[in-house]
């Protein structure tokens, strides 16, 4: 009997996965209904408001708005992005250590209400700043971001390269129905070809990833943009979390935007039977936690994938050399992506953090400098994920 996973149209409709952009939001809205003009005005002018020192004053003067006029999914996603950007800017401001620990109720209440409706946390997540923060600038499909924090924060390059990696890897999702149907029908050559297509898509995603060097300066990323992506979980500057005035009585801790919140790579880990979440440990727990930062349809897709027949066990059972090589090609492509991610983190986080430590003249918070924006011990986490992937190869080398 055919399964739902054997039809991409069914996957697309049930799990909000687009045929062209994958887990990204296709053609995001650029404007909210007029009643939310004040929100939009602040979000569009964040760089000037932060630079002039007027951001917090503008936020504190906002009227309390109802979310009732956000009637469709795309307007709700845009509003979540807008309120997320405003919140990050309000908390961190110019990034000089002047941190606000209470989000005013006029922004906290609608933000938390909307987050509850979307089943997302009230913080800027990857699904906001990467997957929904883009537009086509012209008919040639050149792209731009909707919102940035500072004029020189290189967010356009960082967010768009991340998005393009997602889109390139997303082409592989279309092969998933072929894989499950080929397994059910015992069509080994079809399965082999589908696995090789996935490997090819992941290799192309790595090539796109290389573009980050052209568009993102390490010092600017570390010292400017990264400030606004940091959350209030595992962050000594907000050790108790953030107080959402008018919604919760106690402060809440949430992780900042992180690549761990991307569904695309967890998707291929699950598909290939790479046990990233097995055996407990901080890396496994972090990846499990990050699913709660994904849109619910996407985390449901990952759960559904987990309930399907194991591709890895099928390949092992058949003992076919060509099939094993194709499977390993997929795993190697993931290993290469994770190796490259480690190189990027070294260039964009560890080296600038080391330079900042050497140049310090005052005692300021530094415990978080080598942590990811999601609050993890960054290198240990990435090395653990990479090693688990490497160990999943069927053949050494």
| Alpha helical stretches, state H, 102-255 | 105-118, 126-129, 155-170, 176-185, 188-209, 212-215, 218-220, 226-229
Q: In 3D, which of 76, 125, 139 has the Cα closest to residue 230?
A: 125
Q: How far is residue 259's CA from residue 242's CA, in Å, rounded to a whole number?
A: 22
Alpha carbons within 13 angstroms on the beta-carbon side of residue 314 total: 23
80 is in an annotated binding site: no
∠ at Cα 303 (394, 295), nearest 5°?
120
Tokens of 146: 């909707």
- What values do phi and psi take at 102, rounded to 5? -130, 125
CA-to-CA distance for 17 and 299, rounded, in angstroms?
11
CB 294 within 8 A of CB 263: yes
| CA nearest to 132, candidates 171, 91, 82 | 82
* Three-class secondary structure of residue 103 per DSSP: strand
Determine the Cα angle at 206 with ends 203 and 207, to 5°: 95
The H or E element that residue 27 is part of is none
Number of residues that make up the chain: 397
Contact between 179 and 154 under an 8 Å Cβ cutoff? The reply is: no
Q: Locate 5 and state its tokens.
A: 């996973």
Question: DSSP state, 291?
Answer: G
User: Which amino acids are annotated as binding site for heme b, given as ranges?
Assistant: 341
């Amino acid at each position: 009997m055919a399964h739902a996973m054997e039809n991409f149209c069914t996957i697309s409709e049930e799990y909000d996965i687009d045929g062209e952009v994958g887990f990204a939001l296709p053609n995001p809205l650029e404007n909210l209904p007029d009643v939310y003009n004040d929100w939009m005005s602040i979000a569009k002018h964040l760089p000037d408001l932060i630079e002039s020192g007027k951001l917090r004053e503008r936020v504190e003067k906002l009227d309390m708005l109802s979310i009732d006029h956000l009637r469709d999914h795309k307007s709700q996603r845009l509003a979540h992005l807008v309120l997320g950007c405003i919140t990050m800017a309000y908390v961190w401001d110019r990034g000089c250590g002047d941190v606000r620990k209470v989000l005013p109720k006029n922004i906290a209440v609608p933000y938390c209400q909307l987050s509850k409706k979307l089943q997302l946390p009230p913080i800027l997540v990857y699904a906001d700043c990467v997957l929904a923060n883009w537009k086509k600038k012209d008919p040639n499909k050149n792209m731009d971001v909707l919102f940035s924090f500072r004029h020189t924060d290189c967010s356009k390059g960082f967010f768009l390269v991340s998005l393009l990696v997602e889109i390139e890897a997303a082409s592989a999702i279309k092969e998933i129905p072929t894989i499950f149907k080929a397994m059910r029908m015992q069509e080994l050559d079809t399965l082999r070809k589908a696995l090789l297509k996935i490997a090819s898509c992941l290799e192309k995603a790595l090539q796109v990833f290389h573009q980050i060097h052209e568009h993102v300066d390490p010092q600017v990323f570390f010292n400017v943009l990264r400030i606004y992506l940091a959350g209030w979980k595992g962050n000594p500057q907000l050790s108790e979390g953030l107080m959402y005035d008018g919604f919760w009585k106690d402060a809440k801790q949430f992780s900042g935007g992180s690549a761990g919140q991307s569904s695309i790579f967890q998707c291929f880990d699950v598909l290939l039977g790479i046990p990233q979440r097995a055996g407990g440990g901080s890396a496994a727990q972090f990846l499990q936690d990050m699913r709660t930062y994904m849109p619910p349809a996407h985390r449901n897709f990952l759960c559904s994938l987990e309930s399907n027949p194991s591709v890895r066990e099928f390949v092992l059972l058949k003992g076919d050399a060509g099939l094993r090589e194709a499977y390993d090609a997929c795993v190697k492509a993931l290993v290469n992506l994770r190796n490259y991610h480690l190189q990027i983190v070294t260039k964009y986080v560890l080296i600038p953090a080391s330079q900042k430590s050497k140049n310090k003249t005052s005692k300021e918070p530094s415990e978080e400098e080598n942590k990811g924006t999601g609050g993890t011990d960054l290198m240990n986490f990435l090395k653990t994920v990479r090693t688990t992937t490497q160990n999943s190869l069927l053949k050494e080398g």
